[in-house]
Every structure is written in C-alpha cells, then in structure tokens.
Structure 1
Amino acid sequence: MFRLAHISDIHLSPLPAPNLRELISKRITGYINWRSNRKGTMTGSTLDTLVADIKAHTPDHIAVTGDLVNLALDEELETAERWLRTLGDPANVSVVPGNHDAYVPGALKKARRLWQPWMRGDIEVAENKPVEFPYLRVRGDVALIGVSSARATAPFMATGDIRERQARKLGEVLDETGKRGLFRVIMIHHPPVRGAAPSHKRLLGIGLFQRTVAEYGAELVLHGHTHLATRYSINGPDWEIPVVCVPAASQGFELGQHKPPAGFNLFTISKTNAGWDCTMVERGIVDAQSTIRTIREHNLKVGKVLAGI
C-alpha cells in the first residue's frame, strides 16, 4: 500500500515588495492582481494548517504540481526553497513547476536550480545530473513522472505547453514503467483536458499529450492551475485514465467565493490480484475557522482490469 498526497498552487505569501526594475515587465500586471484580488484570500496561515493536516496523515510521498510562487521574484524563489525543506525530504516530495514559477524569462531556470532536489529523477540523482523533464522517480510499485508545462508568457496570458521532445521522452518513460508493472502517476501543472481552462490559460499541446498517453498508458494524472476540485478522464490504450485537480493550497475560506478553499487529495494505491485499487480522499477547509474535514471519498477505476477490459 502506498499513500500519495497531492497539493498544488501554493502561491506563497506574503509577497515581497518588488523594486521598480522588477516591475518593468509582465510582473506589473501580476502585482496589481495580487494587491487587488489575492492578497487577502491566499494566506500563509491557511497553507500551514493544510500542511499540518497532510503530515498528520503520514503519506509516503507528496506531489506538488506547481505555482509555488506568484511573480517569480528572486526572493520568492528562495523562500520557496526554504518552504520545500519544511515540507519534507526531497526523496519524499516531488515538484513540477507552474506558470507562475516561470513568470518572466529566466525565472524557470532559477527555479530549477534552487528546487532541483525536489525535481530530479532517480537517474539524475544517482548520476548527479541537473533537472530534466520528464523525470522519473520509483517508490515501491509507484512511478512518479514529472512533466513540465511551465513557460514564460505575455501579460494576461497563463498558457503552458508540452512539445515533441518532452512528449517523446514521456512516451518512453510510460512504456518502460508500464512493462515493469508500475502504477504510473503523471504530474503536470496545466490540465491536459480540453475545456478545463479558458483559452488564455490552456495547455498548448493537449492533443500531443493525450496521444502519447493513449498509446502508452498511465494510471493517474495529477494537475493544478485551475484552483478547482475536479475529476476528468482521458483515454488510455483501452481504459479511461483519471485526471484530478485540487484547490489552491493557500486559498482561505470566504462565503460566496468563486474558488473553493484550500484542500488536498490523499490517494491510497494497492496492488491486487485483479490489478490496482486506488481510493481518493478529498480533505479541505470547510469554515472560517480553517477546520479541515474529509469532503468526499472516491474509488477510482484505474488500469485495464479494473475498467473491465
């Protein structure tokens, strides 16, 4: 049995005060958005409460699917590194970057350097190589596969992409881990599902991603970006693959708010004689006192046998 916790869209706060040079870029629009829309609703205290509940459930591993920061200021990226150290040992925490982590040109390169202990695959760690996407980490019967959709974009855009080179390597990783009989979890920031995000926030290369997964298979896809608790599915070779998102990990509770308050998902993965068993528990904040409770439970149908093929 393997227990995997999933959180996303951390948006660490408070936001450091940027200087004028740092604001002469796309950051000026993001800074205005933070001051007017996010400053009062996305808080460190909410995040601390959520992380404490995650740790109380003692997962074997934590998946973080991007947007650790807001404007990708140097100080933010360094703060995120320190926060990751409090979250867990790099061997037990896997991170992929989001669009806010690549907010302006050059930011993603800095994030990869600072956060590399949490973004390197087993081979890269063993051979002391830099971060390479997609990466592969194997923990027991579970293959954790990190895909990067992060890229710098123009103002008012938050798209991501996956291109031929990464998709080709993803196919190779899925093929190899499938032949080993592993439970394959793909982690990506942008939803690889058409219509899951508005056009200015969508993943470019959805068709390429879906064709790759349809050919080689996977058991579960985890993403962030939308700040919503959603479940979709995409086609595998001959079964449906669950695609799951969580609310933003620092979103506070407010009556009538558009986005749900902070939450995380806890997956329990077991290998059985019939194939795989995967249960999913949604836990999240339910009131203004930041009380965390179980909201829903699901038994996900994963893999060929459990899908009745």
Structure 2
Amino acid sequence: MRFLHCSDVHITEDYFALPLHKLGWRRWVALVELTAGGRAKAYRHAQHTLSAIAREGQAPGVDHFILSGDLTAYALEGEFRAARAALGPLVQQPSRCTVIPGNHDVFTPGAHQSGRFAQHFGHLLESDLPEYRREGAFPFVRLVGEGAAVVGLCSARPLPTPGLSYGTVGPAQLEGLAALLTDPRLDGRAILVVVHHAPRNASDHADGWHHGLRDADALLKLLPGPRFAVLHGHIHQRYHHPATQDRPHLFGAGSSTQAGREGYWLIDVEGGVVVGGTKHSPVL
C-alpha cells in the first residue's frame, strides 16, 4: 500500500486587495511576514502546486492522500475555499483523503470559534471507529484497505499572540488514541498517525518551546516500532527518522508548495508494517 503525504501548503489570499479593518490585528502583524519575510512570494503559486500534488494523489498505486495541516496562510475564508478547490475530486472521497488542521488554520480566535476549517473539511474528519473520539472529531480513524489505518489528531489551538506556534494533542486525545490501539479491528494493520506539530525536528531533537509539540514524548510512547508512523508538518523541512524498537517512523513533509522546495512523501506499507518512504516533486 502507498500513501502520499504533504503538508503546509499555505494557500494565500491577496491581503492588500482586502479591507484592512476586516483582517484583525493578528493578520496586520502577519503582513510583515507576508511582505518583508517573503511568504507571499514563496506561496504565490501554492494553489496550482497543490492541484498538481492532488492529481498525483489520485494516480494508480496511491491508496490514500494525507495533508497534515496549514492549508491556509492565515485562516481566511477565501483561503479555505481555494484549498478545497485545489484538492479537486479528492476532497469528495473520505476513503481516499485525510486532512487535519494546522496552527495557521486556527490563526485567529474567530476562525477557530466559527469552525472555519470544519465548514470546508469537516466531512473528512468522519471516523470508522467513532467511539474513540474524545475532543470533537479527534482522534478519528480511517481504515485503509486490509493493511493500514490512518489516525487523525489535532494539535493546533489558538494561541495568545503571533510568534507563538506550539501545539498540544492533550490528555483526552492521547487517552482515545491509547484506547483505539487496543481495538482488535486494528490488529495486523500499520498505523499512520497524522498530527500537525513535529514530535522531533530535522536534527531528531525536541523542537523549541515556542514552536514544538508540547506532549511529543507522551505521543511517541504509545507508538513503538515500525508498525507505526507519525506524519507531520509545521517544520518546513522534509525528513524521515526511521523507527526504532521504542519509537515510530517520523515523516516531516516540509512545506509542499513553497517555491523551489515543492514536494511530498510516498510512504509504503507492506505486511502491516511501514517499510519506508521516498521523496517526490510534483509535475508542475
């Protein structure tokens, strides 16, 4: 079985064509990152690139498409609409597509409180084992074929100020994950856990306190060995830390639509075990 994993596509509106008074102060601060920081230029073609990746996700031999958060630049309604359009027919196929929110998708309290992500992608949060949900839709489970399951977690929460971008899965979701891992319906299946924030950075260390996954160790402890993989984004670097006896595979998808760094993982499962992955670039 084969899974396509991408992340951090950051579909970006033309912010200077929008009424500034409607953006809110958090996005005013973000305008510095968009302009001086170069983010707007880096993601100018993000929608086109995501469309190309989504087409490759529908190719023969790809069993499931996974996007581990940050569909948007700063959680504007138009950005969500454009991300959904870019995914094309995949977005109508929950059996073939898993999408979770990232911190940029809950960038403002308003976006979070209105459930803006769920308005566009909530149908992809349905679970084949709904009895294990503990916090809204999470964790959800998607059974893929006979040999794998995808588990979606949410680590993205509104934070008090721009500049902070850490995440937390939380005890409720971790308890639900621990419970579902004992379900006999998952016996013999590889388990691919999708979360936005990185349990480890590219150097295989814990990420910074202001940016990392606060309960990474508690998550990894539940997932020992090559039967398991954690697929994440957030850190805009593409890397793989192979599984050990005590820890799962870790696949960081990088920023899949960033100009000059476009790409994604194809992750292979055989015999109920994650056997590895290969980096690919989309045909643009």
Indicate whether the TM-score tops 0.5: yes
Structure 1: which amino acid aligns with 2:222?
T
Structure 2: which amino acid aligns with 1:74?
E
Structure 2: which amino acid aligns with 1:227?
H
- Deviations, residues 228-254 of structure 1 (Å, cap 9, x unaligned): 11123576xx4431101122121111x
- Residue 228 (structure 2) aligns with: 219
RMSD between superposed Cα atoms in Å: 2.7
Structure 1 contact 93–118 (Cα < 8 Å) conserved: yes
CA distance in 2, matches of 1:252, 1:81: 20
CA distance in 1, matches of 2:54, 2:262: 10
Secondary structure of residue in 2 paired with 1:94? strand
CA distance in 2, matches of 1:110, 1:277: 33
Structure 1: which amino acid aligns with 2:266?
L
Structure 1 residue 159: deviation in Å?
Answer: 1.1
Q: Does residue 241 of structure 1 match 2:248?
A: yes
Secondary structure of residue in 2 paired with 1:269? strand
CA distance in 2, matches of 1:180, 1:242: 19
Structure 2: which amino acid aligns with 1:228?
Q
- Residue 152 (structure 2) aligns with: 146
Structure 1 residue 265: deviation in Å?
Answer: 0.8
Q: Does residue 94 of structure 1 match 2:103?
A: no
Identity percentage of aligned residues: 25
Structure 1 contact 63–95 (Cα < 8 Å) conserved: yes
- Residue 120 (structure 2) aligns with: 114
CA distance in 1, matches of 2:193, 2:74: 26
Structure 1 contact 174–217 (Cα < 8 Å) conserved: no
CA distance in 2, matches of 1:228, 1:57: 27
Could you tell me which of 65, 70, 86 is aligned with 2:68? 65
Q: Which entry has the higher C-alpha Rg, 1 or 2?
A: 1
Structure 1 residue 106: deviation in Å?
Answer: 3.5
May I ask how many residue pairs the two structures share in their alignment? Answer: 269
Gaps of 5+ in 1: 254-260, 286-290, 293-309
TM-score by length of 1: 0.77
CA distance in 2, matches of 1:85, 1:46: 12
Secondary structure of residue in 2 paired with 1:27? helix
CA distance in 2, matches of 1:46, 1:95: 17
Structure 1 residue 196: deviation in Å?
Answer: 4.9
Structure 1 contact 136–146 (Cα < 8 Å) conserved: yes
Structure 1 residue 71: deviation in Å?
Answer: 0.8
- Residue 142 (structure 2) aligns with: 137
CA distance in 2, matches of 1:111, 1:196: 28
- Are the structure 2 counterparts of residues 284 and 81 from structure 1 closer, same or farther at C-alpha, using a change threshold of 3 Å? closer
The runs of 4+ residues in structure 1 deviating greater than 6 Å are none
Q: Which moved more, 1:160-169 or 1:196-205?
A: 196-205
- Deviations, residues 21-58 of structure 1 (Å, cap 9, x unaligned): 33333111223212331111222333344444444454
TM-score by length of 2: 0.83
Q: Which moved more, 1:182-191 or 1:24-33?
A: 24-33
Structure 1 residue 103: deviation in Å?
Answer: 0.4
Secondary structure of residue in 2 paired with 1:63? strand
Secondary structure of residue in 2 paired with 1:230? strand
More strand by share: 1
Structure 1 residue 110: deviation in Å?
Answer: 1.9
- Residue 8 (structure 1) aligns with: 7
Gaps of 5+ in 2: none
